[in-house]
A and B are shown apart, each in its own frame.
Chain A
Amino acid sequence: MIRLEGVSKSYKAGPMALNDINIDVERGEFVFLVGSSGSGKSTLLRLLLREERPDVGRIWVAGKDLGQLAPWKVPYFRRNIGVIFQDFRLLPNRTAFENVAFALEVIGKSKKTISVQVPQILDLVGLSDKMGRLPSELSGGEQQRVAIARAFVNRPLVLLADEPTGNLDPETTWGVMRLLERINRTGTTVVMATHDVGIVDSMRRRVIELDHGAIQRDQSRGIYGIGV
């Protein structure tokens, strides 16, 4: 589902962000990306979304060779990828329903489809009673659920999560993690960058640790590790 071969990426200022990365992620896997700030986790996620391109190396995501992907095809590629962030990135002046609907609207889905799919997905994330609330009227955990609903409404093949629980308290965090696990069980590949030792240690999924842009460790059923 995701494959990186000899991928390196550097920015004008600073050291190499990623150095000769090789990763193979199977369909339906759940992968934690761990490592200190600046270890290259976010860069890696941006490469997978094709927000940026590597200096060298090749990347395949959801069957697409990102190096060969024409710019005009990138939006269509992204429809197969869901993304969530630490800061949720919801539109503040739109309700939970409208935030999810917006994602469908801008890829040209019909009103009818939207009116069926949005309540379904909001029900799935447990917010069917709060569809009309603005983000400011929702708790952090609920906002992240809306973001997950928006990312998952198109049933993407891959879900990328960049510190999705970074702003949440432990209890809410677990709610969000259970939701991600459920999504993962539907066959969606999940790649989650995180600092949360507790989650990684108790879920015992594959762990890839980055350090200064290089893979330090790639372990199935791993833990966060020591010295962090």
Chain B
Amino acid sequence: MAISVEYVVKETAGNLWRNRLMSLAAVLTVAVSLSLVGAALLIKQGVSTATSQWQGGVQLLIFFNPNAPTSEKHSVAVQLKQMAEVKSFFYVDRAASYKEFKRLMANEPDLLNAVTQKQIPPSYRVVLKDPAEAPALGKIFAGQPGVKTTEYNFGAIKTMLDLSSIAQAVIIALALVLLLSATVLIFNVIRVGIFARRREVSVMKLVGATNWFIRIPFMLEGLTQGLVGAVVAAAGVLGLQSLFNYAINHFGVKLLSGFVVTSSDVIFTEIFVLAVGIIVGAGGSMIAVRRYLEV
């Protein structure tokens, strides 16, 4: 049996309009909670880009001149191997460094175009047994042949990582509470809708409307609320991204300069936000329909 699209659209729109205040509350709650989820994801992605060179507990970076001969790099490696303070280290070649550079500078196309892979320094990434040793070691290697520069500003990076994980945890916790209330709100809107239409529903059952025919308009109603909220949140995420970029460019915060949210990060976040919106909307209405529309 074909379910007519016209009927379903008409019923769903009718239900939404009848419950418009409740629907609005549900939509706004979904929007706010998913905006928070989106913000947390963007912060996570931005921080992970900004700190990508420092991932895996790296506390010291030794950059070589782009054209430094292998022998000079080898001599650094030999010294690193002998040092008791060094826990481990690994080499990042020009190609990998260039990829990283492109990601870090995604917001600055002029710079990206000006720099070629040949100009990018390869590096050793060093993990120490005690991070406090980083400055001392950095100074040792700074003047050696072939070494361009060393970086050991790990303290600031760690603060940033810690702050961002606290921020993320708080935001995600808030978002979860709000998502739960959004689900409950949608559940309630649908329940009220089913109650308001109980006469229609009982007649439909009587004359042999299929369960899905009765259910679909209610489920679509919840789904629409979730989806509309998610679309609002998705727009909010885009706004947030440009706000980040504006803040970075405008205030020129040095630490944040690598805080880049690429467009693929944003696309992922948007898809995630929309998917959660759909799940919340469909979930809330599904529970209501299962509980109050048993045939």
Contacts and interface: CB of A to CB of B under 8 A. Distances in A.
* Same assembly: yes
With most chain B CB atoms within 10 A of its CB, the pick from A76, A92, A107 is: A107
Contact of B1 (A74, A107, A150, A154): A107
A102 interface: yes
A107 B199 CA distance: 16
B208 A83 contact: no
A153 to B, nearest CB: 9
16 contacts: A75-B208, A75-B209, A77-B208, A78-B205, A79-B207, A83-B206, A89-B199, A89-B203, A91-B199, A102-B203, A105-B7, A106-B204, A106-B207, A106-B213, A107-B210, A108-B3
Contacts of B242: none
Given A106-B209, A108-B2, A108-B213, 9 more contacts: A72-B211, A74-B295, A77-B208, A89-B199, A89-B202, A89-B206, A106-B7, A106-B204, A154-B208
A106 to B, nearest CB: 4
Nearest to A83: B206
Size category, A interface: 20 to 34
Interface of B: 1-4, 7, 199-200, 202-211, 213-214, 295
Given A71-B295, A89-B199, A89-B202, A108 B4 contact: yes
B1 A108 contact: yes
Contacts of A106: 7, 203-204, 207, 209, 213-214
Contacts of A49: 206
Nearest to A150: B207
A103 B203 contact: yes
Interface string A150-169: 10001000000000000000
A155 to B, nearest CB: 13
A72 B212 CA distance: 9
Interface in A72-101: 72, 74-79, 81, 83, 89, 91-92
With most chain B CB atoms within 10 A of its CB, the pick from A49, A71, A92, A108 is: A108
Contacts of B2: 108
Contact of B207 (A74, A92, A154): A154
A94 to B, nearest CB: 9
Interface in A36-78: 49, 71-72, 74-78
A92 B198 CA distance: 12
A77 B211 CA distance: 13
A72 B1 CA distance: 13
B208 A79 contact: yes
Contacts of B7: 105-106
